[in-house]
Each structure stands twice: as C-alpha cells, then as structure tokens.
Structure 1
Amino acid sequence: MILLTTAVVLVAVVVAVHLLFTFALVARIRELQQHGGAHAHNTQVPRPGTVIRPFSVTDTDGATITEADLDGPVQVGFLQVGCGPCRMLSDALVTAPPAARFVSIVQGDPDAPDATARLAAKLGVLGRVTVIGIDDPALTAFEVVAFPTLLHTHSGVVTASGTRLDDFADATTAPAKVA
C-alpha cells in the first residue's frame, strides 16, 4: 500500500510540474504573439546599424561587386536554391520590385546547376545577381546566417533587415553604426 501511495504522489508531482511548464509556455507564446508582430527584430538577420565588412563577389555578368558598390540606398537579398521561403520571396520580389537598387546573392547548389541558373535568371530582372558557395566570405561580411535574408543598406550600413518585403516599410535613413 505504501508503494502504491508513493507512486500516486510521484505521478501527481510530475503532472503538476508539467502543467506549470505548459502554462508558462502558453504565457510566453501569447507574449511573443502580442509583442512580436511585424516590429520585432528577427535574431537570425543582421541588426540595423551593422556595418557591412569588406567583401568581393563576381556577378553573373563577370563584374565584381564589393562593399563600395553599396553607396546610397541598396537592397540586398540573400536567397538559396531549393529553399521554399526563398522561392516565395523571389516571386514576391519579381511581382513587386523594390524601389531601391537591388543586388541578389544566391547560394547555389552544385548538385542542381539548372535550378541555380533559373533562380539567378529570375532575379536578374531586379538588378545584379551573384551566385556564391555555401561558405562564401560574403555571408560573413553581411552577417547572414539564414535564408532568405533581406537587407536594406545605405552607404554600407544596414538600415533594415528581415525575411519579408514588409520588413522594409520604414527603411529610409541610415542609423548610427554599431560595433
């Protein structure tokens, strides 16, 4: 009988702890939904104020693109071949092209050169396109760790960042540079 009582008490304690964790999780999700809307900053993209470090890539026309080419307002899109959200974003970009100059940086897939070429051609209507490899230094220069990533830059400084076109509604001026 003591063993049964101990087992019931132990199960009750475990259930109570799980309920507390569940309520805490639900509360946190609600908090994020209320405060995390379009104005929350995605931690997977570079923060506004980030200075773009030196980089050099070759576009599909054979010309070199460096950080010096990001003078004035420029939007930079990082997309990856085979990425569903990247495909949806590229469709949205082609449908509603950005007002600022646009540079597309495509992480190609060596196992799918045709898909890489199609995505590069599709984005070519927006502006300059470059195809990079998986560990290209340009990703480090821009601090890009996830795809898709969209950046609005002004004179080499990130002014807005996100993963959707509407993340750029207020991207008009350059913020102070951050370290």
Structure 2
Amino acid sequence: MTLLTTAVILLAAVVAVHLLFTLGLVARIRELQQNGGARPHTHNSQLPKPGTVVRPFSVTDTDGATITEAVLDGPVQVGFFQVGCGPCRMLSDALVAAPPAARFVSIVQGDPQAPDATARLIAKVGALGRVAVIDVDDPVLTSFEAVAYPTLVYTHSGVITASGTRLADFAETTGAAAPVA
C-alpha cells in the first residue's frame, strides 16, 4: 500500500508541475497576442539600429554604374537579399506585390554555384529599382551593419530610420506596408 501511495503522490506532484508550466505558457502566449508579438521598438540586435549613419561604401549595380552612400541623399529603402534564402524570397515577393514609394536599392548576395537562381532573384528585385550583386562579406554589409538575410533598411539622408526583416515590422509602427523613410 505504501508503494501505491508514494506513486500517486509522485504522479500528483509531476502533474502539478506540468500544470503550472502550461499555465505559464498560456499566460505568455496571451501577452504576446495582446502586444502583437515581437515589436520593432524592441529592436533585434542583428538588425541595423535606427540613428546609425551609413558608412561610406561603393558597389557596382547590374548596369555597371557605381552606387555609393551619396545615393542615400533622401528617403531610400535598401533591401539585402541572399540567393536560396526562403525569408528573402517571401520579403521580395511582398515588396514586388506592394512596391515601396521611395527609391529602392537591392543588395543581392549571389551564389556562383547557382547562376540561374541568382539571375531570377536579380530580375525580381530589379523591378523595385537598382540592384548590386555582392559576394560574402562585402564591405557594403559592414557599412549598413547588415548581418542577416533578409534585412530591409529605411534611410533618410544617409541615416538609418528603421530596419526589419518583414514588411509587417513596419506596418505596426507606421500603419503602411511600405513606409517612406
């Protein structure tokens, strides 16, 4: 009888711990739902920070023209995309479906092993504006402090005003899918 009593008490304790854990998860999920999930003002440490001045850079676009920080003389949106990146595909699809109002520059990390995929991504984002193709660790990434793909940066006169990985990040703060920086 004592073995059965011990087993029941142990089982009750395990069930109580699991119940407390479940209630904590439910409370956290409700909190996230009420707050709209992750919000832009709780800034992701991997994204360029608003207020950052874009450092000097130089890349060549697909037409052979040079793009430098001087291009950022007004509101300009810059998208960083990588060939083979699923979230990059989703962001570029969303941008093409609802083109931004401001000038747009796409920085594409090409894949020499997948030239067809690289060409398709260049053609897609080319509909948005200028496109530059870069290699891994290109200095332009450091200039914008972009360390992850995709990254969408809004600039005004060479200063980053907002950054995110989805258009929804910006819709929460601006009420528009693709705000002008």
Q: Same fold (TM over 0.5)?
A: yes
Between the aligned partners of 2:5 and 2:47, the Cα distance in structure 1 is: 53
Share of identical aligned residues, percent? 77
What is residue 17 of structure 1 aligned with on the other side? 17
Alignment of 1:13-162 (within 5 A): 13-36=13-36, 40-41=39-40, 43=44, 44-162=46-164
SS of 1:161's partner is: strand
User: Which residue type is aligned with residue 77 of structure 1?
Assistant: G
State the number of aligned residues.
Answer: 172
- For residues 92-149 of structure 1, give each alpha carbon's deviation from its aligned partner in whole angstroms, at most 9, with x where no partner exists: 3223321111000112223211101111122222221111223333223322233222
- For residues 45-79 of structure 1, give each alpha carbon's deviation from its aligned partner in whole angstroms, at most 9, with x where no partner exists: 33322322333322222333222321111000112
SS of 2:162's partner is: strand
User: Which residue type is aligned with residue 53 of structure 1?
Assistant: R
Between the aligned partners of 1:20 and 1:76, the Cα distance in structure 2 is: 46
Between the aligned partners of 2:3 and 2:150, the Cα distance in structure 1 is: 56
Contact 2:60 2:67 in 1 (8 A): yes
Between the aligned partners of 2:8 and 2:100, the Cα distance in structure 1 is: 63
CA RMSD of aligned residues (A): 2.6
Contact 2:102 2:180 in 1 (8 A): no
Shift in Å at residue 172 of structure 1?
5.1
The runs of 5 or more residues in structure 1 that have no matched partner are 174-179
The runs of 5 or more residues in structure 2 that have no matched partner are none
Q: Which moved more, 1:78-87 or 1:147-156?
A: 78-87
SS of 1:126's partner is: coil
Between the aligned partners of 1:172 and 1:125, the Cα distance in structure 2 is: 18
